[in-house]
């Protein structure tokens, strides 16, 4: 084959191609180099002083806390173009396992949460529930390796003040909250998420009603009434869904997670283990198939709403539809949040901060006396006026008027009271 | 692909005629040329057909035999005997209304002749570089969910076969043998008529294979047939590269190669030809001598159909005239009027039916024509 060594349009093989075994003698084969094997577990030590270095959210690079030297991270920002995978067994088997760096796991005996930490991390507090009953063990490599993550952007130094300000907001909380500074260890944790894409073609068929007013004669007079004319209709809706997020852990409050959302997925970068240095990372405990079922249910409900909207009427009956999914793809990503807890009156409350946007959400104790007083204040005008009206009904029209206005005010107050009560409940909800 | 270095010896053979075909082929054959279709054949020296054995329309005239000095290397044996051929033709000629007298198995068998179609078999060594996309089959799960107000949601997983394409490049150094390459300009058209041959059943050339038959003389000598040969080499290399990659599919296969040690040999494919005449035209019929596939146009007799239509029309006219006369007489003698009316009705029905044979045959013949000849 000497005469085939000279360069041509086809030869030599493009950059990145490597020889691969051939099943036919006399035929040489070159293929794109396979994705890099999981790197040897990396340790993050300063090249100058040997101290443990960590990813610094402010400087967006690895920093040695002892000598201040920095080390750049070269991972490419891929955003929503990050690689996605189909639902094949083969693809799942091909994903690399492990974290790509030396890590240990902390297992909380109280809530069961498992987080991966650097081997020399000194922590004995569960970031999820604040419990100190934490055991350390060697990390297991039987989890998929995340492909992309959003790095921490918000610096935790200014978070204390930000959280304190958030705690002081709102009249329905105890005033003592303003003084709470005892945020237990504010821990930056990369939380696991699954993202799903799909194209849905939804075909629907239903009886759709159209309102019509008609006149009819009854009891000696002409009257009007509204009737609904039903007729069968069908249609098709195409719904592309991109990056539908499902939490990969059941150990974090979904209510609070929803409150700190959204995350800007344009900020996704390739998962360089350097971003994990000095930070905790939670492995997924909601499996891919389980998460896909959750996502699929949410997606098809969206498709159903889109079909209902396509009917063009609020009167729909005997509705049926099919949702054909195509190009289903998934990604396993890590998103940054700070978790913290604080004690208040013998109870522990959780706080979560979006590590990308700084948005704070969490549980806040409620001063129920204030809430009940507010509810009483909302209900009392209606109740009083109604009572007064009731007493003055024998006097004629003024009494009836008072009764009606009192009733209206009572209903309005009731609606406001329910809203207030639910808001107060949600504030303490996990 | 233009870099091919060929070591064939056939480039000047057009100018060199084989003077003693019998010595080379082992059978007394002579070359003839058809003035009508222009095709050249080898026919038995002692039984030169009056008409061209391919188009059956022009007389043949002797010409020098522009052939290689080597006899054919291999031939496919006839699997269809003449007795079996008669049954095949009998079946083929059935189902034609107003069938021409010559479109019968017995008539066709009287004119049937063995006809051998040449095909080059090329051996050679390929050395070069290649690039292609190779495809790997895999299965993925997709979903179809259904909803109804009564039953709620139900979900069904659907396993779909998909192909994952990956680029590959490489070098190749392989030898290929007996790659089939057209030896005729009209090879594709002829193969469309005859259908596929199982080349795996070929045997060494025996002069008996051509005895009594007509052999089509290759119109493409190796030099001219090289394009087809190169295509066959690329196809064979592409299949092997796919195999080398362990892939299920290959696409966009590109090969830059040098071809050495080329060796061209001739293979003869077995066929039968016969013909019939309908109207002023001759209609050839081709039969694959291995599979028995028949290819030809089945025509209905226009003359027979027209005569039938005329007879029907004539009878209708007669009935109409007699019926009309009787109806007139019926004004005086009533019972005669009934018979006259009946004859008028029958005449009318016959008049309507009279054109049916002529139109039916016209439609049948039109449908039986190959699209390009309509």
Q: Which helix (H) or strand (E) holds B274?
A: strand B249-278
- Count of other CB atoms within 10 angstroms of residue B94: 10
| C-alpha–C-alpha distance, residues B363 and B374, integer Å | 12
Q: Which residues of A touch B128 (CB under 8 A)?
A: 4
Whether residue A282 contacts residue A251, with contact meaning beta carbons closer than 8 Å, is answered with yes
Q: What is the pLDDT of residue A119?
A: 59
Give yes or no: residues A397 and A342 share one domain.
no
Q: Which residues of A touch B153 (CB under 8 A)?
A: 297, 300
Give yes or no: residues A123 and A183 share one domain.
yes
Of the candidates A115, A119, A113, A114, the one whose C-alpha atom is nearest the C-alpha of residue A101 is A119
Q: Which residues of A touch B147 (CB under 8 A)?
A: 300, 304, 319-323
Q: Which residue of A has its CA nearest to B141?
A: A87
Of the candidates B300, B251, B286, the one whose C-alpha atom is nearest the C-alpha of residue B100 is B300
Q: Which residues of A touch B236 (CB under 8 A)?
A: none
pLDDT band for position A276 (50/70/90)? confident
Helices (H) and strands (E) in chain B, counts: 8, 11
Of the candidates A126, A104, A137, A258, the one whose C-alpha atom is nearest the C-alpha of residue A193 is A258
Q: Which residues of B touch A88 (CB under 8 A)?
A: 138-141
Hey, what are A404's tokens? 């009606």
CB contact under 8 A, A317 and B149: yes
Q: Which of B128, B138, B168 has its CB closest to that of A29?
A: B168
Q: What is the pLDDT of residue A168?
A: 84
CB contact under 8 A, A323 and B147: yes
Interface subset of B 256-275, CB within 8 angstroms of A: 256, 258
- DSSP state, residue A144: B
Q: How far is B252 from chain A (nearest CA, A)?
A: 13
Q: Which residues of A touch B138 (CB under 8 A)?
A: 88, 90
CB contact under 8 A, B144 and A86: no
Summarize the confidence of residues A263-271 as an average pLDDT. Answer: 89
The beta-strand segments (E) located in A279-359 are 280-282, 316-344, 347-354
Question: Structural domain of residue A356, as residue ranges?
Answer: 73-197+240-310+317-362
Computed over every residue of chain A, the mean pLDDT equals 82
Q: Which residues of B touch A3 (CB under 8 A)?
A: 127, 258
3-state helix, strand, coil in chain A (%, to 5): 30, 35, 35
Give yes or no: residues A275 and A351 share one domain.
yes
Give yes or no: residues A300 and A405 share one domain.
no
Phi, psi angle pair for A204, to nearest 5°: -125, 155
Q: How many domains does chain A have?
A: 2
Interface subset of B 100-139, CB within 8 angstroms of A: 127-131, 138-139
CB contact under 8 A, A88 and B141: yes
**Per-residue pLDDT for A397 more than 90?**
no
Q: Which residue of B has its CA nearest to A325?
A: B143
Q: What is the pLDDT of residue A184?
A: 60
| C-alpha–C-alpha distance, residues A40 and B268, integer Å | 65
Q: What is the pLDDT of residue A126?
A: 64
B329 touches chain A (CB under 8 A): no
Q: Which of A11, A318, A323 has its CB closest to that of B149?
A: A318
Distances (CA, A) of B101 to A32, A185, B277, B349: 69, 106, 9, 30
Q: Is residue A52 part of a domain?
A: no
Q: Is residue A95 part of a domain?
A: yes
Q: Which residues of B touch A325 (CB under 8 A)?
A: 142-145
**Per-residue pLDDT for A324 more than 90?**
yes
Give yes or no: residues A156 and A271 share one domain.
yes
| C-alpha–C-alpha distance, residues A61 and A64, integer Å | 10
Q: How far is A309 from chain B (nearest CA, A)?
A: 16
Q: How far is B27 from chain A (nearest CA, A)?
A: 43
Q: How far is A248 from chain B (nearest CA, A)?
A: 21
Summarize the confidence of residues A122-138 as an average pLDDT. Answer: 60
A122 touches chain B (CB under 8 A): no
Q: Which residue of A has its CA nearest to B169?
A: A30
Helix, coil or strand: residue A16:
coil
Hey, what are B1's tokens? 């692909």
Q: What is the pLDDT of residue B9?
A: 39
pLDDT in tens, A198-231: 999 999 999 999 999 999 998 889 999 999 999 9
Q: What is the pLDDT of residue B373?
A: 44
Enumerate residues 6+ apart whose C-beta is below 8 A from B63. Answer: B31, B32, B33, B40
Give yes or no: residues A253 and A358 share one domain.
yes
Phi, psi angle pair for B207, to nearest 5°: -50, -30
Q: What is the pLDDT of residue A121?
A: 56
Interface subset of B 156-195, CB within 8 angstroms of A: 162, 166-174
Q: Where are the domains of chain B?
A: 13-122+172-231+262-297, 303-373
Q: Which residues of A touch B245 (CB under 8 A)?
A: 20, 22-23, 29, 31
Q: What is the pLDDT of residue A40?
A: 52
Give yes or no: residues A302 and A382 share one domain.
no
CB contact under 8 A, A296 and B142: no
**Per-residue pLDDT for A247 more than 70?**
yes
B239 touches chain A (CB under 8 A): no
A150 burial (CB, 10 Å; 0-12 / 13-18 / 19+) is buried
Q: What is the pLDDT of residue A55?
A: 79
B211 touches chain A (CB under 8 A): no
Give yes or no: residues A142 and A255 share one domain.
yes
pLDDT in tens, chain B (374 residues): 334 333 343 444 444 667 678 888 888 999 999 989 989 999 998 888 889 999 999 899 998 888 888 889 999 999 999 999 999 999 999 989 999 999 999 999 999 999 999 999 999 999 999 999 999 998 888 889 999 988 999 998 888 888 999 999 999 999 999 999 999 999 999 999 999 999 999 999 988 888 889 999 999 989 899 999 999 999 999 999 999 999 999 999 999 999 999 999 999 999 999 999 998 889 999 999 999 999 999 999 999 999 999 999 999 999 999 999 998 888 888 888 888 889 999 999 999 999 999 999 999 998 887 654 43
CB contact under 8 A, A8 and B129: yes
Whether residue A337 contacts residue A360, with contact meaning beta carbons closer than 8 Å, is answered with no
Q: Which residues of A touch B143 (CB under 8 A)?
A: 296, 325, 328
pLDDT band for position A185 (50/70/90)? low
Summarize the confidence of residues A187-193 as an average pLDDT. Answer: 89
Q: Which of B130, B145, B246 has its CB closest to that of A323?
A: B145
pLDDT band for position A334 (50/70/90)? very high
Q: Which residues pair with B137 in a beta bridge?
A: B163
In whole angstroms, how large is the CA radius of gyration of chain B?
Answer: 31
Give yes or no: residues A120 and A266 share one domain.
yes
ipTM: 0.72
Q: How far is A348 from chain B (nearest CA, A)?
A: 40
A8 touches chain B (CB under 8 A): yes
Give yes or no: residues A181 and A290 share one domain.
yes
Q: Which residue of B has its CA nearest to A328?
A: B142
CB contact under 8 A, B256 and A10: yes
Summarize the confidence of residues A306-324 as an average pLDDT. Answer: 94
Give yes or no: residues A253 and A395 share one domain.
no
Give yes or no: residues A395 and A306 share one domain.
no
Q: Which residues of A touch B148 (CB under 8 A)?
A: 319-321
For helices A368-392 and A397-428, give the axis angle rounded to 10 degrees. Answer: 170
pLDDT in tens, A19-46: 999 999 999 999 999 876 555 556 677 7
A318 touches chain B (CB under 8 A): yes
**How many beta-carbon contacts under 8 Å exist across A and B?**
116
Enumerate residues 6+ apart whose C-beta is below 8 A from B226. Answer: B4, B6, B8
């Amino acid at each position: 084959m000497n005469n085939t060594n000279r360069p041509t349009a086809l030869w030599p093989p493009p950059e990145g191609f490597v020889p691969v075994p051939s099943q036919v003698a006399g035929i040489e084969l070159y293929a794109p180099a396979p994705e890099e094997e999981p790197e040897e577990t990396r340790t993050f030590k300063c090249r100058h002083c040997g101290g443990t270095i960590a990813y610094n959210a402010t400087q967006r690079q690895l920093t040695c806390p002892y000598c201040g030297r920095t080390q750049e991270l070269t991972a490419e920002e891929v955003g929503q173009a990050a690689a996605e995978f189909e639902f094949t067994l083969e693809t799942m088997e091909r994903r690399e396992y492990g974290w790509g760096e030396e890590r240990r796991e902390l297992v909380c005996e109280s809530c069961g949460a498992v987080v991966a930490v650097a081997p020399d991390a000194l922590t004995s507090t569960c970031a999820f529930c604040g419990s100190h009953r934490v055991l350390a063990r060697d990390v297991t490599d039987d989890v998929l390796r995340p492909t992309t993550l959003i790095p921490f952007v918000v610096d935790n130094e200014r978070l204390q003040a930000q959280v304190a300000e958030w705690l002081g907001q709102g009249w329905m909380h105890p005033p003592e909250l303003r003084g709470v500074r005892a945020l237990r260890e504010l821990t930056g944790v990369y939380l696991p998420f699954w993202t799903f894409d799909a194209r849905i073609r939804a075909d629907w068929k239903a009886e759709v009603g159209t309102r019509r007013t008609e006149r009819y004669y009854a009891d000696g007079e002409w009257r009007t009434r509204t009737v609904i004319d039903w007729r069968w209709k069908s249609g098709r809706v195409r719904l592309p869904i991109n990056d539908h997020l499902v939490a990969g852990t059941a150990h974090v409050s979904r209510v609070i997670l929803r409150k700190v959302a959204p995350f800007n997925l344009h900020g996704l970068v390739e998962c360089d283990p350097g971003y994990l240095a000095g930070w905790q990372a939670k492995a997924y405990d909601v499996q891919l198939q389980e998460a896909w079922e959750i996502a699929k249910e949410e997606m098809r409900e969206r498709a159903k709403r889109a079909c209902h909207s396509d009917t063009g009427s609020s009167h729909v009956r005997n509705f049926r539809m099919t949702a054909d999914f195509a190009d289903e793809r998934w990604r396993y990503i890590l998103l940054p949040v700070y978790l913290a807890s604080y004690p208040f009156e013998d109870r522990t409350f959780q706080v979560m901060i979006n590590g990308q946007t700084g948005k704070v959400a969490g549980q806040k104790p409620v001063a129920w006396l204030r809430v009940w007083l507010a509810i009483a204040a909302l209900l009392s005008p209606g109740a009083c006026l109604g009572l007064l009206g009731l007493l003055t009904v024998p006097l004629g029209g003024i009494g009836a008027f008072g009764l009606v206005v009192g009733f209206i005010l009572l209903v309005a107050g009731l609606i406001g009271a329910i809203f207030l009560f639910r808001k107060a409940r949600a504030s303490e909800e996990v | 692909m233009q870099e091919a270095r060929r070591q064939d010896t056939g480039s000047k053979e057009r100018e060199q005629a084989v003077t003693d075909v019998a010595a080379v082929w082992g059978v007394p054959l002579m070359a003839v040329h058809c003035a009508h279709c222009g095709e050249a054949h080898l026919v038995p020296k002692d039984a030169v057909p009056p008409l061209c054995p391919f188009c059956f329309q022009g007389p043949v005239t002797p010409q020098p035999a522009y052939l290689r000095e080597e006899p054919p290397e291999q031939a496919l044996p006839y699997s269809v005997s003449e007795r079996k051929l008669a049954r095949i033709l009998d079946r083929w000629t059935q189902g034609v209304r107003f069938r021409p007298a010559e479109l019968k198995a017995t008539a066709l068998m009287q004119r049937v002749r063995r006809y051998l179609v040449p095909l080059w078999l090329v051996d050679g060594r390929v050395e070069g570089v290649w690039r292609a996309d190779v495809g790997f089959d895999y299965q993925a799960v997709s979903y179809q969910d259904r909803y109804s107000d009564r039953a709620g949601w139900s979900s069904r997983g659907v396993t779909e076969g998909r192909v994952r394409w990956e680029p590959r490049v490489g070098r190749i150094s392989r030898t290929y043998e007996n790659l089939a390459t057209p030896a005729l300009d009209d090879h594709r058209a002829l193969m469309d008529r005859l259908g596929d041959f199982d080349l795996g059943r070929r045997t060494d050339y025996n002069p008996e294979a051509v005895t009594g038959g007509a052999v089509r003389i290759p119109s493409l000598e190796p030099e001219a047939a090289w394009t087809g040969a190169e295509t066959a080499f690329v196809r064979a290399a592409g299949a092997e590269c796919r195999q080398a990659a362990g892939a299920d599919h290959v696409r966009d296969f590109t090969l830059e190669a040098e071809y050495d040690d080329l060796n061209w040999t001739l293979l003869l494919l077995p066929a039968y030809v016969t013909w019939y005449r309908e109207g002023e035209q001759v209609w050839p019929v081709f039969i694959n001598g291995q599979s028995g596939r028949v290819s030809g146009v089945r025509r209905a007799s226009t003359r027979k159909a027209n005569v039938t239509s005329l007879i029907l029309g004539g009878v209708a006219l007669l009935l109409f005239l007699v019926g009309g006369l009787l109806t007139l007489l019926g004004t005086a003698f009533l019972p005669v009027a009934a018979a006259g009316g009946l004859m008028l009705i029958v005449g009318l029905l016959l008049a309507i039916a009279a054109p049916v044979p002529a139109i039916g045959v016209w439609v049948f013949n039109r449908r039986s024509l190959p699209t390009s000849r309509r």
